[in-house]
Amino acid sequence: MKTGAVCILAVSLLGSLWLTGCGGGDGGGSPAGNTNTNSPSALAGKTYTFTVTARQGLTEPVGSTYSIAFTDSSMFTFNPSPQNIERTNSVSGQYTFDSNTATVHLSGVGEPISGMFDFMTPVSGTIHWMEGDGEMQDATFMQLQ
């Protein structure tokens, strides 16, 4: 009977350790790699250049560079690259930005698109763009102003 009690105790202890797990991780609930510690409180007045590193269905090819100027707290202007397969003229629309999640939502230039910034520094990092239909793009970015 002692052996059975020892086995139950050992299994319970191992189960507790397994559920507790190890430390580490990204520190609590932010997207992988995105701690948002460098995220600005607003995008208004800032212009970013984006260089495409991967895409699935969106109009900027890999290697192209385009810019987005966030003119005020709700309007932006998209300046496509010369390689854009859909347009070469600038277009404007509305946006919202959540500095807690570093997520921007753009509308007014076709299908709405969301981007999740990963600010590696206060002025640069990576972004993952996603449309509702699954089209996506990854890019590096740098703030111009």
Q: What's the pLDDT tens digit per position in 99-126?
A: 999 999 999 878 899 999 999 999 999 9
Chain CA centroid to CA 43, Å: 14
Q: What share of the chain is helix, strand, coil (3-state, %, to 5)?
A: 15, 40, 45
Tokens for 68, please give them: 């987005």
Domains of the chain, start order? 46-143 (2.40.128)
Put simply, whether the predicted model's pTM sits higher than 0.85 gets the answer no
Tokens for 72, please give them: 């005020």
Predicted pLDDT of residue 35: 58
Which residues does the chain have with pLDDT short of 70?
1-36, 145
Cα 43 from Cα 48, distance rounded (Å): 10
